[in-house]
Amino acid sequence: MQSTRTRLDRFMSQQLGIKRQAIRPILAQGRILVDGSVAYDVQQSIHQFSHVVFDRQVIQNNKPRYVMMHKPRGVVSATKDLKHKTVADLLDKSERDKLHIAGRLDFNSSGLILLTNDGRWSRQLSSPVNKIVKRYRVELEKPLDERYIDAFSQGMYFDYEDITTQPAQLKIISSHLGEVSLTEGRYHQIKRMFGRFQNEVLQLHRLSIGNLALDPKLLPGESRELQQWEVASIFETEENGFK
């Protein structure tokens, strides 16, 4: 599958096993269709989801896939691992090599995780420019108070990476339960932020990414395809990143 854009002549040369110079006369004869239209330009851009037909035979017909999964605790956010069960292991065997993970969760964290074959879409999700908000439910060892809210909203300095986190939003649900919304995904970030108060995170569960919430009907380990409106809804967030 084509993971990046390439020129039409290069793509067809690879697919047909002929020299690129031989593609130009084929194009002039109108024998190649791209997305339903006759292609004439050797420099036309082809990406992984371009529908390409040569002499009425389909050369490429990849469809974008977007999958929501309820990740259980004790599962690695990876496609392969020698010691532990992975997110990919929870998929049907026929799907395991076709999808990659768009945004990871820690081994002992649970909740919404997304898989796709669309590299451009997954890069948009992780790009700091888009400021996609991820919302988490956090259960803690010790009680919460207003100090936490102020500290999270100001961002925290991590000396190991020499960075200050972006402001995060903390909502106290009960004495030991909170909801954290942030636009980053640094290494064990939420656990480290609560660690500043010597307060251990007992459970971490991702509720949503952007405007896409985990389907409450999905049991841990289950997954389903996203509908098209759900795929687009993720990016429909306010400018400041928080609702």
Catalytic residues: 106
Pair 20, 7: CB distance under 8 Å: no
The Cβ of residue 123 has, within 10 Å, a number of other Cβ atoms equal to 11
Alpha carbons 36 and 24: distance in angstroms, whole number: 19
* Token pair listed for 12: 């067809």
Token look-up 């809804």 returns 233
Handedness of CA 189, 190, 193, 197 (dihedral sign): negative
Token look-up 């690879």 returns 14
Residue 164: burial class (beta carbons within 10 Å; 0-12, 13-18, 19+): exposed
DSSP character for 100? E
At 110, which amino acid appears? S
DSSP character for 219? P
* Token pair listed for 133: 């908000």
SS3 190: helix
* Token pair listed for 15: 């697919």
Pair 112, 212: CB distance under 8 Å: yes
* Token pair listed for 158: 């991590």
Pair 180, 138: CB distance under 8 Å: yes
